[in-house]
Amino acid sequence: MARANEENRRKPVTLSDVARAAGVSQATASRAINGSQRTVNEELRQRIFTAAEKLNYTANLSAQTVARGTSTTVALLVSDIADAYFSSMAASVMTAAEAAGLRVTIAVTERSVQREIELVRELRGQHARAIILAGSGYLDSDLTEPLVRELEMFEDMGGRVVLVSRMDLPFAGVDLDNLEGAKRLASALVRLGYQSFRVLGGERELVATRDRVAGFRAGLDGHGITLGDDRVIYSNFSWEGGFDAIQAMDDRVLADTGLIFAVNDEMALGALAGLRNRGMRVPGDVALAGFDDIRSLRNIVPTMTTVRVPIEEVGREAIARALEVGDGHQPRVVTAIVVLRESTPRLN
């Protein structure tokens, strides 16, 4: 197969090729094919389309972007695309984007603010239409200040910034009511009869950790139960984090625990593995609850109590906000609902 050697690569057909073939000017061809304000004579249109078809013309997106000065690409920044939560979100964002005629490029931040900054910078160069920044934010403002600056420059350029579930920065976004969700979960669990809780948090600096822990604490407070600081164990916001945290727990502490709330499902799953590894039965010896309701929960036994984040809606809303104009920074809040399952049975 001697196709496409470096030398004999046929150079792609351009708009002017099409125009020439159709016997019209480039301007007319452009107007016909991409439909501008101006109309073009029906017969010419036909000729142009026929020519385009015959030549197999496809518009050069980069050239269009340069000429128009704006692109139709939105960038989605996630911590880790292999994470079930983010990959579901990516799927929903892509579906919504598709419907809106937008392209999506995904980039991975590896949970590093530094990397986020680099990526935003690069995206400014790509003239992306919007940046959807998912993944939990950081509480440390020294850390995020340069990110904010970079994002502001992105907006200055005409781009739009949409935060997902991390309203720690002054931009538009769609927010999960982490606080309320966790609060209601706590409340529901108390009503099931649980009294002794431990919380598995992700990194301390994460907004999601803070909010979910705070919400859970508030929920318990409402029932007169105090969640001491010593009852919150911080590790990583991931499966391994959950697993390791359990491994590191003292036997007596574990024995004294009625229910473990992991601030996200991945951690809860890690914790589940960790508990089993230690010979504990769930929910027999200890009950377990998570947050997010990721898809892979459907595979486990016992079914797991969690707080469902309507991920489809999040994706849709994120794209909607990306397309909005104006400066509204009021986050659109998506409500999370408590889903009680077998991992937290009612106590007699």
Binding mask 169-208 for DNA (x = CB under 7 A): ----------------------------------------
Cβ proximity to a copy of itself: between 127 and 204 the closer is 127
* CA–CA dist 16, 161 (Å, integer): 36
* Residue 27 interacts with DNA (CB under 7 A): yes or no: yes
Cβ proximity to a copy of itself: between 187 and 344 the closer is 344
Considering only residues 54, 68, 223, 329, which one is a binding residue for DNA as defined by CB under 7 A? 68
* CA–CA dist 192, 337 (Å, integer): 17
* Residue 39 interacts with DNA (CB under 7 A): yes or no: yes
Judge whether 183 and 222 are in contact, CB under 8 Å: yes
Q: Kindly write down the DSSP assignment for every residue of 130-165, as one continuous string.
A: EEEE-S--BS-HHHHHHHHHHHHHHHHTT-EEEEES
Considering only residues 66, 153, 248, 253, which one is a binding residue for DNA as defined by CB under 7 A? 66
Phi and psi (nearest 5°) for 310? -70, 90
Q: At its nearest, how many Å lie between a copy of itself and the CB of residue 6? A: 6
* CA–CA dist 308, 306 (Å, integer): 6
**Which of 32, 319, 65, 289 is CA-nearest to residue 182?**
289
Q: At its nearest, how many Å lie between a copy of itself and the CB of residue 103? A: 7
Q: Which of residues 59-88 bind a copy of itself (CB under 8 A)?
A: 59-63, 65-66, 71, 80-84, 87-88
Kindly indicate which of the ranges 102-110, 134-142, 185-193, 217-225 contains the residues binding a copy of itself, using the contact rule CB under 8 A: 102-110
* Residue 63 interacts with DNA (CB under 7 A): yes or no: yes
The residue assigned the tokens 């996200």 is: 264
Residues 6+ apart with CB under 8 A from 29: 15, 16, 18, 19, 22, 48, 52
Using CB under 8 A, list all residues that contact a copy of itself: 1-6, 9-12, 56, 58-63, 65-66, 71, 80-84, 87-88, 90-91, 94-95, 103-108, 121-122, 124-127, 152-153, 155-158, 170, 239, 269, 272-273, 276, 295-296, 298-301, 325-327, 329
Using CB under 7 A, list all residues that contact DNA: 11-12, 14-16, 23-28, 30-31, 33-34, 36, 38-41, 44, 57, 59-60, 63-64, 66-69
